[in-house]
Amino acid sequence: MNIANEVRPGGNRYVSYEGSVKELADYLKPFKKIAFVTGKKSFKIFSDYYQKEIDNVFYYDGTASYEDGERLSNLIGEADVVVGIGGGRVLDTAKITADNLKAETVLVPTLISNCAPFAPVAAVYYPNRSFRGVGYFEKSAYLTLVDPTLLLTTPEDYFVAGIGDTLAKWYEIEGILRFLNDEEKTAYIRLAVSSAKMIKELLLEDAEQGIEDLKNQQVTPAFIRLTDTIIALAAEVGGFGGIYGRSAGAHALHDGLSYLEETHEELHGKKVAYGILVQLAYTGDLGEIVTLLPFYDKVGLPTKLAELNVSNTGFDYLVPVLNHAVSPEESFVLLDSSITPEKLYEAIVKVESLGNK
């Protein structure tokens, strides 16, 4: 059994409308033993909006690690459902915890930054916050509860990071597609490619307006489209495409960057967005980078390592990043099985030399 290759379109139920979180108690009626997994900042934002008392609240340690999931499941002991409230790492921790407890999962995002609220997988880290791998679970979320009004509390930099992370769906699957023969391009992979292309078009069309709407605290059609694109559509591309739809060069570089401590406070989607440029440089698509740079500038995505708090761009310093990104267990090999640290570094140098902010 290879669960990584199974078609997993998303959670069991995706609910998205203004005020949905206010009705959380109604959605939880089928369950008797309920445990809430959250972060302190996330829970404060949720509580200010929900304005009802809840019990059995457990706080994660910020790592999204198997170790923290085990700690939480031991504290909880038994539950019918684990309700995750927060951003990507909180929600991935809730998935790990629920899997340990053999419980259902209800996921309530408090910000728009990635597809974790709907994806049936988790980005798992070690306790030191370096990347460990993708976690797979037999169960998808019982319910993903999205409330655009609550999500207006998303900090702008998280929203921008979500745009960057989601943009990678097209560039990564398109890059992989070049190396698949027609027999490998199954119906679901073709659907994933079509969906990823639409995602790119939606982001390029709505991103600037959506960011402006967030600043003005307005729920608009553009804001809702971006919300559903970042949270749900992105997750479904990975669900349809399996290992071919989840990550390639951009995410591999992100994972490598996690080995530099100075990047730990930098947002996932911003590191992935930089990784898109590096992947395009590696595949020789410099013209596409030039096309993307104005969009990056307008929405605030990074085009230089310095914008990710990495000031030393020398080869020797970046060796831990490069070695991990090109390792056999990482996804850059889906683009080139013969990739080396030296080849990847050449791509980084090309990106660093393009334009200046």
Put simply, whether the predicted model's pTM sits higher than 0.85 gets the answer: yes
Domain that holds residue 65: 3-152
Q: b or e along 208-219 (b: 16 or more beta carbons within 10 Å of the residue's beta carbon)?
A: eebbebbeeeeb
- The neighbour count for residue 92, using CB atoms within 10 Å, is 28
Residue indicated by tokens 């997994």:
37
DSSP letter for 338, please.
T
7 is in an annotated binding site: no
| 170 in the same domain as 303 | yes
308 is in an annotated binding site: no
Res 184 pLDDT > 90: no
39 is in an annotated binding site: no
**Of 263, 356, 247, 266, nearest in space to 303 by CA:** 356
Residue at a domain's end among 152, 170, 196: 152
| 211 in the same domain as 99 | no
Residue at a domain's end among 106, 135, 152: 152
| 161 in the same domain as 148 | no
Q: What is the pLDDT of residues 110-140, one digit of tens each?
A: 999 999 999 989 999 999 998 898 899 988 9
| 94 in the same domain as 189 | no
91 is in an annotated binding site: yes
Residue at a domain's end among 136, 152, 168: 152
| 83 in the same domain as 182 | no
| 207 in the same domain as 65 | no
Q: How far apart are CA 296 and CA 308, in angstroms?
A: 14
CB 61 within 8 A of CB 39: no
Phi, psi of 37 (to 5 degrees): -115, 125
The CATH number assigned to the domain holding 61 equals: 3.40.50.1970
133 is in an annotated binding site: no
| 203 in the same domain as 133 | no
The pLDDT assigned to 357 comes to 47
317 is in an annotated binding site: no
167 is in an annotated binding site: no
Share of the chain above pLDDT 90, in %: 87
Q: What is the pLDDT of residues 285-342, one digit of tens each?
A: 999 999 999 999 999 999 999 999 999 999 999 999 999 999 999 999 999 999 999 9
264 is in an annotated binding site: no
The CATH number assigned to the domain holding 242 equals: 1.20.1090.10
SS3 assignment, position 135: strand
Q: How far apart are CA 200 and CA 315, in angstroms?
A: 32
105 bridge partner residues: 82
92 is in an annotated binding site: yes
| 183 in the same domain as 148 | no
Q: Report how far Cα 53 is from the mean position of its chain's Cα atoms.
A: 30
* Counted domains in the chain: 2
88 is in an annotated binding site: yes
112 is in an annotated binding site: yes
